[in-house]
């Protein structure tokens, strides 16, 4: 039987079929998991890998509920989530399979090409409201964020906003693709996406974490070399009893061939 990636909402319990496994969670990791699943299934025709998104929190919730084998997450699992798994008698396992550079994006015609972390904090907390305040046109800033279940939402808040609250009423998007589309269509927009999602429809800004002394554009090379500051690990979470089912897939991603694929898709390797 020809194997394929099934992009659908999974509501059934963890499959008892040893050759089938489900991955759910982070939208950031979708391109990575989808590509890995495609290559893995070609090499292992007796296995089927189902990949769905929804956000890191959604994936981890599915792991707790027992409806996915692997939770893909762009944030570290929280204490209360670990507690729920322990209460179910599950032993949690974690694998870091890649790193991601988070790109800050604006409309291609926006004359602003660089911002400091402090300026980004001001924009996303609502203190800076007009592009002219940061060297741009006299135009209202329209910031877009991921929804609260997203690991990207939480990481951006932690790294860029220094855990300050987002602007009240900020436009929250359910998926990375929605942010890409909104920023591409809105002259005053600003948002953030994983590096692998960048295309010509938006412009990625150079970012400074040293008060404006140096600004660095997001790239695999800059992230791997430590020059680009907004970088985070990407995780797969699973329970110990499912290790036999998921380990071959994780081992593939951490292999030389798998890490080459990680780089090809637009992520930063861990090896």
The percentage of residues in the chain with a pLDDT greater than 90, rounded to a whole number, is 92
Q: pTM (2 decimals)?
A: 0.84
Place of tokens 């992230």: 223
d(CA 127, CA 2) in angstroms, rounded, equals: 54
Q: How many residues in total does the chain contain?
A: 271
Treating both helix axes as pointing N-terminal to C-terminal, what angle do 79-87 and 56-65 enclose, rounded to 10 degrees? 10
Residue 247 has pLDDT above 50, yes or no: yes
What count of Cα atoms within 13 Å lies in the side-chain half-sphere of residue 40? 27
What are the pLDDT digits (tens) for 199-213?
A: 999 999 999 999 999
How high does pLDDT run on average in the chain? 92
Residue 50 has pLDDT above 60, yes or no: yes
**Terminus-to-terminus CA distance in the chain, angstroms?**
34
- Residue 22: band (very low, low, confident or very high) from pLDDT cuts 50, 70, 90: very high
What are the pLDDT digits (tens) for 101-134?
A: 999 999 999 999 999 999 999 999 999 999 999 9
- Residue 15: band (very low, low, confident or very high) from pLDDT cuts 50, 70, 90: very low
Contact 228, 216 (CB under 8 A): yes
Residue 3: per-residue pLDDT: 39
In the chain, what are the domains?
20-99+234-265 (3.40.190.10), 100-224 (3.40.190.10)
What are the pLDDT digits (tens) for 57-91?
A: 999 999 999 999 999 999 999 999 999 999 999 99
- Residue 19: band (very low, low, confident or very high) from pLDDT cuts 50, 70, 90: confident
- Residue 6: band (very low, low, confident or very high) from pLDDT cuts 50, 70, 90: very low
Q: Closest Cα to residue 254, out of 238, 235, 241?
A: 235
């Amino acid at each position: 039987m020809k194997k394929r990636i099934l992009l659908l909402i999974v509501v059934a319990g963890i499959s008892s079929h040893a050759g089938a496994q489900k991955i759910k969670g982070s939208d950031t990791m979708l391109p990575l998991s989808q590509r890995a699943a495609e290559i893995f299934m070609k090499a292992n025709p007796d296995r089927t890998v189902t990949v769905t998104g929804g956000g890191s929190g959604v994936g981890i919730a599915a792991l707790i509920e027992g409806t996915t084998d692997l939770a893909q997450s762009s944030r570290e699992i929280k204490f209360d989530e670990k507690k729920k798994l322990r209460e179910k008698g599950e032993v949690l396992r974690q694998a870091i399979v890649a790193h991601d550079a988070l790109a800050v994006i604006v409309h291609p015609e926006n004359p602003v090409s660089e911002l400091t972390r402090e300026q980004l904090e001001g924009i996303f907390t609502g203190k800076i409201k007009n592009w002219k305040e940061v060297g741009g046109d006299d135009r209202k800033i329209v910031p877009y964020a991921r929804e609260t279940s997203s690991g990207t939402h939480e990481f951006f808040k932690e790294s860029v906003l220094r855990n300050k609250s987002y602007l009240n009423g900020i436009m929250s998007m359910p998926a990375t693709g929605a942010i890409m589309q909104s920023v591409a269509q809105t002259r005053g927009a600003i948002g953030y996406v994983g590096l692998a999602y960048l295309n010509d429809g938006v412009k990625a800004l150079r970012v400074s974490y040293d008060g404006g002394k140096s600004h660095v554009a997001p790239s695999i090379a800059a992230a791997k070399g430590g020059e680009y500051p907004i970088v985070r690990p990407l995780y797969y979470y699973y329970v110990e009893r499912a290790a036999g089912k998921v380990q071959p897939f994780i081992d593939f991603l951490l292999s030389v061939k798998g890490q080459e694929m990680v780089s090809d898709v637009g992520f930063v390797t861990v090896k």
